[in-house]
Structures are given as structure tokens and as C-alpha cells.
Amino acid sequence: MSLGSISAQSVAVSPTSLSFGNQVLGTMSSAKKVTLTNSQRTAITISISTNLADFKQSNNCPSTLSAGSSCAISVMFTPAALGFRIGTLNINDTGAGGPQTGVLSGTGVAVTAAPSSLSFGNQPVGQKSAASLVTVTNNQSKNLSIASITTNLADYRRLQPAR
């Protein structure tokens, strides 16, 4: 008698983490997708939630996910506080190895600068390039005081805006 090959049966979430980067306080990010896959030979019962209100999920997953099926979960980030935020996507299931989890992270910011980087291309030594503009936006309802603007390279300097 031969057992043949035995394949692992599992329930998995992919990717297992989502990073939303910087997001302006109180504004919703675009959705990022996670896929839940039931590779078992039997259906599983599932429920999906997040543990932090900053992260919301919506999904097309049925309450019972058939054997060999997948479904999509969309997660959005709306920071309610400044700074780094971390949460968990919780997928409670009746499958082997359950529950499934995913790490969610993002940073709530009040001030943004655009663009986030500048490229001056090739520039002859000793010659000034054309100025490039960076716009700083205060996304708060209160005034912002800027104490200084600096660069870490001597070749660059900040020009005072015309008043």
C-alpha cells in the first residue's frame, strides 16, 4: 500500500502585512488588498475585523469559504492621531492553523511636503541650477510655526521666498 504524496492543507492570508506610509490626519488612504485562500479540502467559516479604528476593512468573502477558494479583503487607513499607528487584521476561521492575522501600519501626519525629493540632474561645478520649489502644506486647523529649514549637504541652500 502506498500513501502517495501528501499535500499540506492550509488557510493563508497574503500578504501578511500592509504598510500605508504617511497619511494626512483624518483622510482615508486608497485601499490595499489582501487575499484569503482556503487550500483545505473542506469549507471554513470566517469572520473578519481589525483591532484599531484607524484601519477599516471591506471584503467579498462569504461567511463560509468553500474548499479551494479565495476571497479579497480591502483595507483602508484613516489616521485618528498623529504618529505611527499599528493594528491587526483578524481573520477568525475554522480551518487548520486559524486564526489568520495580518499586520497593518501607517503614520498619521499633519504637515506634508511635495515633492518629497528633488533632482537637479547634471550641473557644472560652481554654477547655480534653477531653483526648485517644495510646497509645505499645513493640514491642521491651527497655525504651524516653522523654526528652520535645513539640508544635510553644503552644495544646496534654501532661498527665501519673495514677500
List, for residues 79-117, the tens digit of each pLDDT value.
999 999 999 999 999 988 889 999 999 999 988 788 878
The domain total for the chain is 1
User: Is residue 128 in a domain?
Assistant: no
The answer as to whether 158 is a domain residue is no
82 found inside a domain: yes
Residue-wise pLDDT tens digits, 38-55: 999 999 999 999 999 999
Confidence of residue 7 (pLDDT cuts 50, 70, 90): very low
Q: Tell me, yes or no, whether 42 lies in a domain.
A: yes
DSSP-assigned letters across all residues of 28-42: PPPPEEEEEEE-SSS
Measured from the Cβ of residue 107, the count of other Cβ atoms closer than 10 Å reads 17
- pLDDT given for residue 158 in this prediction: 67
8 A C-beta contact, residue 104 and residue 89:
yes
Domain span including residue 58: 11-109
CATH no. for residue 26?
2.60.40.10
Residue 103 covered by a domain: yes
Mean pLDDT score of the chain: 86
Backbone φ and ψ for 86, nearest 5 degrees, come out as -135, 135
Question: Is residue 116, in this structure, part of any structural domain at all?
Answer: no
- What pLDDT is stored for residue 161 in this prediction? 63
156 assigned to some structural domain? no
Is 0.75 surpassed by the pTM of this model? no
Looking at the chain, the whole-number percentage of residues with pLDDT higher than 90 is: 56
For the chain, the first-to-last Cα distance in angstroms comes to: 89
Look at strands 55-59 and 64-65 and give their pairing.
unpaired
Q: Which residue has the higher pLDDT, 122 or 23?
A: 23
Grid coordinates standing for 92? 477568525
pLDDT at 136: 82
